[in-house]
Structure 1
């Protein structure tokens, strides 16, 4: 039978990285929202481009916006991939910490914990960088001055 104090310590050690998972879940939600907006705008532009009476200058503008939207969608997808990878790595870290602590009552952490945790943090950083690039593309593709 396991000592309640040891079990309590095990749970505390394994739960600490869960806070990172909460941040990852929030970011996945935000990215899902951004991707939905990109897809919706893309559908509107495709519908507008079907109009044969569209002026060539507007058609060119819409095509350029579609290119920006496609690039944004790719960066959102890359960020989402890194976030899911981060969640998997942190989940593996939590499992290893919990099982190492509870097996035999002693902490027998292997190098695997270090690798999964570092990979999780690295994935999180790469996801943030991808998100930053997507936001920059979105903000620089907006026309800030009124049309003449």
Structure 2
């Protein structure tokens, strides 16, 4: 039976507050991931422009870095996809909370399963983010000929 009483809606809003805060946090994570992807793409485009004109060790270094950038794009894209999917699942949880309360459905188990899946997707996305950061840190090194050593 449909029950749109204000007390019912207010109680449902109170229940939905935690998932909504989670959604705000996921939004901040998505902003960071999108920013990293943008910087990776910018670097890739810059190297792609230099690549045809390079030769020898410089060319080899460009190819090496382009391969790393390609891997980083794949990893960060997967992280973005999982975090977006988790945000969509949070929205579904909130919507189901309202539907269940308003029409007196007993779907707590389904909501719990969706929330667990949400957390699994978010966790996997964050792990992929950590992997992408580790890939970028391993790839960053200054060539020895550019370093000015003390005592020379």
TM norm structure 2 = 0.87
Give the match for residue 136 of structure 1. 134
Gaps of 5+ in 2: 147-152
Distance in 2, Cα, partners of 1:137 & 1:115:
33
Q: 1:7 aligns with which of 9, 12, 15?
A: 9
1:23, CA displacement in angstroms?
1.1
Q: Secondary structure at the match of 2:140?
A: coil
Runs of 4+ in 1 over 4 A off after TM superposition: none
Deviation of 1:144 after TM superposition, in Å, equals 4.6
Aligned 1:20-39 pairs, distance under 5 A: 20-39=22-41
Question: In the aligned structure 2, how far is the partner of 1:17 from the partner of 1:145?
Answer: 47
- How many pairs does the alignment contain? 144
Taking only aligned residues, the RMSD between alpha carbons, in angstroms, comes to 1.7
Map 1:91-102 onto structure 2 (within 5 A): 91-102=91-102
**For the residues of structure 2 that align with 1:63 and 1:92, how far apart are their CA atoms?**
43
- TM-score relative to the length of structure 1: 0.89
1:121 aligned to 2:81? no
**Cα distance, 1:142 vs structure 2:** 0.3
Contact 1:6–1:102, Cα closer than 8 Å, also in 2 = yes
User: What is residue 58 of structure 2 aligned with on the other side?
Assistant: 58
